[in-house]
Structure 1
Amino acid sequence: MGDSQSVLVVDDQKGVRRLLHEAFLMAGISVEVAASGAEALEKLGRREYSLMLLDVKMPGMTGIEALAEARRRGHRIPVILMTAYEELPLIKEASALDILDHVIKPFDVMELTRKISRWRSSPFEYRG
């Protein structure tokens, strides 16, 4: 994973960003947030993160488009997609972009926090 042990949370819903930010900080996980795919790409250009939690459905640039662009730019960050059940076909499409996993909304924040801790400590090999 990246040099930093910080997680980047990307979601257009302010409430989701705030909830995950607070939960991760309480669990001792360093976290930054982005409100759009474009903002996420900007942040990825400035520093490395150990993991990106990326919403699939966002206005403007979707999570899949943001991930494709991140990969095109050479970012090898492990990615967990957040999606609603009806978006599962998009997860299959995103698998070609080398995702680590996905979570289905609504999710249990404490369970997600435990998974984030586990994923951050697991080896991830980008297949690019």
Structure 2
Amino acid sequence: MTTKDAGDIRWIQRFEHFEKAFAELKLAVAVDEPSRLERAGLIQFYEMSFELAWKVMKDYLDAEGYDIQSPRAAIKQAFQSGVIEDGETWLNALKDRNLTVHTYDESTAKEIERRIRRAYFPNLAKLYTTLQARITP
């Protein structure tokens, strides 16, 4: 097995973890009027999904020969490589992920929930579809 083959396997394994977290986020997003607890769960599933999303991008790009060291670098290179379409929204998602990890108040949670539903979840869904298509030709 070549290094490239090992990298291919790594990103596919990471994708499987992303797929599971994304499925949970999808269920949470389906709740139209979440309670405070459900909103917290939605945000937690978003944090997990986002974390795995940038890591699967990193692993995919590593397999393609890039050396990626950070979420920001993964997003920028994924955009340049055509893995994702909306780099600016992904960078905003990174900022919000960092915000949700360190602070929690109800008004911030509601605003983050709105952005997850309108922008971040659709981008995660596009990434899921794009990478799934690259696994199954």
- TM bracket, shorter-chain basis: 0.3 to 0.5
TM-score (norm 2): 0.32
TM-score of the superposed pair, with normalisation by structure 1: 0.34
In terms of fraction of residues, the more helix-rich structure is: 2
Structure in which a larger fraction of residues adopt strand: 1
Which is higher, the Rg of structure 1 or of structure 2? 2
Q: Which has the higher contact order (CA 8 A, sep 6+)?
A: 2
